[in-house]
């Protein structure tokens, strides 16, 4: 535990920097804004207390918000995602449950599992985020298209990121 905290802290900072300085400036054809900082919430240990999950999600979201000048938008979406995480983990749990000393990452549970896991949560996050950004339901389908395209793009980026850890099983 004591070893994982600094690692996650570093992770946090790197993800925020990556999001704020690189990905926030990317906007393909007005539809695609990838938000991959949520991978931090995805990869938190299984044993993380639920309340801590929400608090961390709020801190992460509000940090992104502070940098992108959208106070409350990312934090509410990220908290929503963190709220869903325990339920999603329950639903897609492998038959013999999660082993101890493992983390919800691609290298432990395989590509299919991780794809399902991240797809559901990232989609939920983006759905919440984009709808709270437009704050109305009148352009429902245009927004939905943005949600689908952006979340697919984010998921792809997250998966690619996961493959960087692939061989290094002793990392954590």
Partner 1 sequence: MKSLLNFLLRIHFFLLFILIEIFSISLLVDNNYYQRSRMVNFTRELSGRYHQKLAELKEYFSLQEINQQLVEENNRLLNIIESTYRSEELFFRNVNDTVFNQRYFYTPARVVNNSVNKKHNFITLNKGKKQGIKPEMAVVSNGSIVGVVKGVSENFATVISLLNLDFKISAKVKKNGYFGSLSWDGKDYHTAILNEIPLHADVQVGDSIITSGFSSIYPEGILIGYIDNFEEKGGSFYTIYVKLSTDFKQLNYVNIIGNLTQTEKLEIEQKAIKNNE
DSSP characters over 98-129: PPTT--SSHHHHHHHHHHHHHHHHHHHHHHHH
User: 2 or 69: whose CB is closer to partner 1?
Assistant: 69
Q: Rounded to 5 degrees, what angle do the CA atoms 162, 61, 103 make? A: 35
User: 61 or 104: whose CB is closer to partner 1?
Assistant: 61
Q: How far is the CB of 3 from partner 1 (least distance, A)?
A: 27
The helix/strand count (H/E) of the chain reads as 6, 0
User: 49 or 97: whose CB is closer to partner 1?
Assistant: 49
Interface contacts to partner 1, rule CB under 8 A: 50-51, 54-55, 58, 61-62, 70-73, 75-76, 79-80, 83, 86, 132, 135-136
Q: How far is the CB of 155 from partner 1 (least distance, A)?
A: 24
Q: How far is the CB of 66 from partner 1 (least distance, A)?
A: 11
User: 22 or 71: whose CB is closer to partner 1?
Assistant: 71
Look at residues 55, 71, 6, 16 and name the one whose alpha carbon lies nearest to residue 38. 16
Q: Rounded to 5 degrees, what angle do the CA atoms 78, 168, 26 make? A: 40
C-alpha–C-alpha distance, residues 82 and 56, integer Å: 9
Q: How far is the CB of 73 from partner 1 (least distance, A)?
A: 6
User: 70 or 152: whose CB is closer to partner 1?
Assistant: 70
Q: How far is the CB of 44 from partner 1 (least distance, A)?
A: 15
């Amino acid at each position: 535990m004591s070893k994982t905290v600094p690692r996650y802290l570093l992770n946090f900072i790197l993800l925020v920097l990556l999001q704020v300085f690189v990905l926030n400036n990317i906007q393909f054809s007005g539809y695609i804004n990838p938000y991959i900082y949520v991978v931090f919430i995805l990869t938190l240990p299984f044993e993380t207390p639920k309340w801590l999950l929400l608090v961390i999600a709020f801190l992460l979201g509000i940090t992104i918000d502070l940098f992108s000048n959208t106070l409350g938008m990312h934090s509410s979406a990220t908290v929503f995602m963190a709220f869903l995480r325990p339920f999603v983990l329950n639903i897609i749990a492998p038959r013999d449950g999660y082993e101890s000393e493992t983390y919800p990452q691609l290298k432990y549970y395989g590509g299919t599992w991780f794809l399902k896991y991240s797809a559901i949560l990232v989609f939920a996050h983006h759905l919440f985020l984009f709808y709270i950004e437009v704050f109305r339901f009148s352009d429902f389908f245009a927004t939905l298209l943005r949600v689908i395209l952006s979340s697919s793009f984010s998921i792809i980026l997250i998966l690619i990121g996961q493959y960087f850890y692939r061989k290094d099983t002793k990392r954590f």
